[in-house]
Amino acid sequence: CSVRKVQTKVRFHQREAAACSLSCCETCAVTGSSTPQPKAYEEEGEDGDQDEEKPKFKPPKIPDGEKVDFDDIQKKRQNKDLVELQSLIDAHFECRKKEEEELIALKERIEKRRAERAEQQRIRSEREKERQARREAERMRKEEADALRKAEDDVKKKIALTNMGSGFSSNLQRIEQKRGKKQTEREKKKKILAERYKPLSFDDLSDDKLREKAKDLWEWLHNLEALKYDYSEKLKRQRYEVVSLRNRIDELQKHSKKGAASRRRK
């Protein structure tokens, strides 16, 4: 729109200049002189002083051999404006085409990166499943081996009990009870650890959830370190109290032995 307004203004001024030049040429042709003089100026010259010479201005003469073609000049200017306008339009479309190509390339890169992330996520999930399957198979194998070893131990104990006497069997029963207590404590410990230990899965978590999970784990680790420090300090105090009490007991026993020996001498 701005280019069109400029073109219309240029054309309007060109037409005015052409009209003025044509009117001047026609006036000169009618009067037969190169400098048309107005009538008012002639009347004033007749009435005024004849002695005073007034300056006469002569307009520039147009060469007779060359004629100015204003239409040709106007066409050349129009062609020049059209060429400039066409160059601006071509540059605009070229820039727009380049931007569209860059946008298409950016979209392709985004799609490619998205596909790569999906493939990495799939491979990671498959590896996690395989690891869980191996862990489960290893756990089942260990449980079967423990059950088989326990059954063999029971058979050996029964055979030993049938071959040995009742006294020895009672000792074996006491030993078995102690082992049973240790086994139950160990099983309780394993159960508590299994309840506390939960496998972590980061496959379906976003970046914000991963940050929150890392923050929770850091706080949990910080609390554990604080508890560990408190328990270690408590254990140190208890050990110090035990050592001090033992020293007092030893001193009291020494004094009691000395007092008993002195009483015996008397």
Stretch 93-111: mean pLDDT, rounded? 91
233 vs 224: CA distance, rounded Å: 14
Evaluate whether 49 touches 43 at the Cβ level (below 8 Å): no
> Which of 5-19, 55-69, 197-211 shows the highest mean pLDDT?
197-211
Identify the CA nearest to 25 among candidates 78, 77, 75, 64.
64
Could you tell me the pLDDT band of residue 144, with boundaries at 50, 70 and 90? confident
Evaluate whether 213 touches 205 at the Cβ level (below 8 Å): yes
Q: Is the pTM of this model over 0.75?
A: no
Looking at residue 108, what is its pLDDT? 92
Top pLDDT among 58 and 189 is at 189
Q: What angle do CA 263, 264, 266 make, to 5 degrees?
A: 65
Top pLDDT among 243 and 75 is at 243
Looking at residue 200, what is its pLDDT? 63
Q: Which residues, in sequence order, are CB contacts of 164 under 8 Å at separation 6+?
A: 172
Evaluate whether 14 touches 74 at the Cβ level (below 8 Å): yes
pLDDT higher than threshold 80 for residue 138: yes
pLDDT higher than threshold 80 for residue 176: no
Looking at residue 211, what is its pLDDT? 83
Q: By CB neighbour count within 10 A (0-12 exposed, 13-18 middle, 19+ buried), where does 229 fall?
A: exposed
Q: List the structure tokens of 202.
A: 């980061």
13 vs 18: CA distance, rounded Å: 9
Q: 3-state DSSP call for residue 1? A: coil
